[in-house]
Amino acid sequence: MTKLEAIKCEKLLDEAIRNAETANEEFYKAGNNYNTTERHILETKAWNHRGYAEGINQVLAVIGFKHELMVELGKLIN
């Protein structure tokens, strides 16, 4: 893997972590919301963010990218 590819993978990893954190925040907000419509909207957004983060995680794992933040991403997703 070239240096440029590694930098791009790190940017993708950062984006995945941001999306996983956003998903966790939205799941938390949805759990504390009593309005069923608002809860459904927040849960749908959260699942979309989580799916995006999981997809990036899978791609980085398949191409063999290794970084200490991959562990953090795995914890955020699960």
The tens digit of pLDDT for each residue in 24-70 reads: 999 999 999 999 999 999 999 999 999 999 999 999 999 999 999 99
How many domains, in total, are found in the chain?
1
Provide the pLDDT for residue 12.
96
Q: Which amino acid is at 56?
A: I
Provide the pLDDT for residue 3.
93
Tell me the two tokens of residue 57.
């995680």
User: Which residue range is the domain that position 59 belongs to?
Assistant: 3-77
